[in-house]
Amino acid sequence: MTRRPLVAGNWKMHGLRASLAEIEAMGVDYDAALRGRAELVVCPPATLVALARDIAVRAGLGLGAQDCHAEASGAHTGDISAEMLRDAGAAYVIVGHSERRADHGETNADVEAKAAAALRAGLAPIICVGETRAEREAGEALAVVAAQIEGSLPSDAPAQIVVAYEPVWAIGTGLTPTPQDVADMHAFARARIEARLGGGKGAHIRILYGGSVKPANARELLSVPNVDGALVGGASLGARDFMGVAAAYR
């Protein structure tokens, strides 16, 4: 099964208009050889999505957003719908990131509704799952991820969805699981995705690893079986590091 690797950059709450120059710079290194091997996507804050559209197109990168509301429109002050993101130029949207689950109390049901909204709007959701340190230490990592997959993926989701496994304790900490731990979790996640969606989709869906991915560890992490790319936080803010991560596919 050939799955096109995807390296997605999640800028989180970072970036002003001046940061758009980084997307332009990413394009300089994103040559035909690398384009042939991996898809690159950048997910800036919502304020920059529309402004980034033409720049990303010129650079050859895809564009994503970081969250969406479950409804297409309505009286939801401060929220942004998947339709609006699509209109602004996004093709992807991250849903269920652990920071939204923690900061905004998003449940698996909320994440499923957002993923469904993304699909309705024509966006590919990047659905995040992952255990906390306490859950891993309690031996519950597999059960937590299984429950998140079962609860957060729309049961009729197509193979275009992306799943990102991000152990919460590895996000922004410089810590990473061992390659064997990543291999075990990704194989497990693929089996659970197939159990959830059926129809042979599990083999087609890309499962990204996220959590302290950097140029120095990208090659090792991205060569693990069933790792189809990365969801990169801190190292995606600058072209040099982001392209250093993507270079794992050269």
Ligand X SMILES: O=C[C@H](O)COP(=O)(O)O
**Residues labelled catalytic:** 97, 166
User: In this complex, which beta carbon is closest to ligand X, that of residue 81 or of residue 98?
Assistant: 98
Contact letters for ligand X, residues 214-243 (x by CB under 6 A): -----------------xxxxx--------
62 marked ligand binding residue: no
- The answer to the question of residue 38 lying near ligand X (CB under 6 A) is no
Residue from 247, 242, 193, 248 nearest 8 by CA: 242
User: In this complex, which beta carbon is closest to ligand X, that of residue 48 or of residue 83?
Assistant: 48
- The answer to the question of residue 113 lying near ligand X (CB under 6 A) is no
* Count of residues of this chain found to bind ligand X when the rule CB under 6 A is applied: 14
Contact letters for ligand X, residues 152-181 (x by CB under 6 A): --------------x----xx---------
Q: Which residues contact 192 (CB under 8 A, 6 or more apart)?
A: 145, 146, 149, 150
User: In this complex, which beta carbon is closest to ligand X, that of residue 69 or of residue 101?
Assistant: 101
12 marked ligand binding residue: yes
Site residues (vs ligand X, CB under 6 A) = 10, 97, 166, 171-172, 210-213, 231-235
